[in-house]
Amino acid sequence: ITRGRRAMYVSAACLYIVCRQEKNSVMLIDFTDVLRVSVFKLGATFAKLVNLLNLQLPIVDPSLYIARFAGMLQFGDKTQQVIVDASRLVQRMDRDWIRTGRRPAGICGACLLIAARLHNFRRTQREIMQVVKIADTTLRRRLDELRLTPSGNLSVSDFRGLWLEQSADPPAFTNNRIKARRAMLAQQEQQQQSESTETPLQRLARTGNHLQTQEGNPTNNTETGDEQINVVDFDGNVDRAFAEEFASYLQAESLKFITSDMANDDFNPDVSTWSDMDDDEVNNVILNDEEVRTKTEMWDRENKEFMEELERKRQARELDEGARKRRKQTRKKVALPGATPLESAQNMLATRRLSKKINYEVLGKLLGNQGSKPKVGPAHAGMIPSGAPSRMISVAGTPMYGSGYTTPT
């Protein structure tokens, strides 16, 4: 079990297990303060040992830590009274399902803060947080959960002399009910707003969608809101809704002049015969050449930087495409295989420089170059450097003495 784990972590976890079994007021974070290690690493070792050893540890009672934290907060002669009120608050929170699933430090911090205020001790939340070693969010959340219970509405005298038999619902259950209630109210408000702005056609479409989900006899009546809608009369309702929709549309102020002209007997649909059209209004929309030039200059001046950036990108793209084409046209040097290994080696030396540190001219003189020019591919014959023929060509036709090969004739 201890293999692969630090002895310091294992020892601290074993000591904390004993403290839990003996119901001591020592917390796991106290061991981390002494050892200067992470509480999560020590907690992981503790949980691993408990699972491997199948230990059944008792649930931590927050009342065990009340006296210890109260002594650290220095209440003086009223320390015992503060401890009694804080322990009573712990019992009340346990009855209201606040303690279940919560760490004992948060419960102790909230109870000690309330008990200190009951005895006129001005202990700030920061002081409580430093003593019990919790975050401010945890402390405020425990206080809010206690405020929503019936005990949170009691006065000081009622709290000390009255014990409520009723218990509140768990905080998680209460929060879920509050969220569900808010969601339902928001949905109802949204539905009311949509119904207030709903047209007859939209209302009829919503009714039709509801009717499609009904099963059984089509002559049955279906309730939608405060109305009784018959499935058989659905087509008639569609016609009436269309009529109402188009009537409301044609009665708009913007369309009155159209309906009045169409109602006249002398209405001519030929546009060329209409005399109420003003050509000046149409001409004002069309720009002349001077106005077009002026607006073009204004646009170019306002978008000068954008056009310059666009031109730079176009030039860079053209350069990139040209370099890409040149790279595609470049071909690798290929040496044709020779009739003998010596000739193949000579062709390879002619098309590929092995090293810059080799003086090919001196090498050719040492080998007594008397041969012909090496053979390379017809498409790559021009790749032999023209500026140094004495280096590469001389080496290519030089036989190697003592190698057993002769220059081919």
CA 371 to chain centre: 74
Looking at residue 357, what is its pLDDT? 79
Query: For 69, phi and psi rounded to 5 degrees?
Result: -70, -35
pLDDT block averages, 10 residues each, the chain of length 409:
84 92 89 91 92 88 90 90 91 86 90 91 90 90 88 83 80 86 88 70 60 50 46 64 72 63 59 59 72 88 89 90 71 64 67 72 58 45 43 42 43
Segment holding 301, helix H or strand E: helix 289-302
Looking at residue 94, what is its pLDDT? 86
Looking at residue 220, what is its pLDDT? 47
CA distance 226 to 201: 18
CA distance 347 to 376: 7
CA distance 159 to 119: 13
**Pick from 12, 49, 41: which is nearest to 27 by CA?**
12
Radius of gyration (Cα) for the chain, nearest Å?
A: 48
Looking at residue 4, what is its pLDDT? 80
As given in the structure block, the two tokens for residue 46 are 């503790």
What angle (nearest 5°) sits at the alpha carbon of residue 109, between those of residues 106 and 111?
Answer: 110
CA 314 to chain centre: 36
Looking at residue 349, what is its pLDDT? 66
Looking at residue 116, what is its pLDDT? 92
**Pick from 61, 86, 89: which is nearest to 75 by CA?**
86
Segment holding 223, helix H or strand E: strand 221-224
CA 167 to chain centre: 41
What angle (nearest 5°) sits at the alpha carbon of residue 75, between those of residues 73 and 78?
Answer: 150
Segment holding 214, helix H or strand E: none
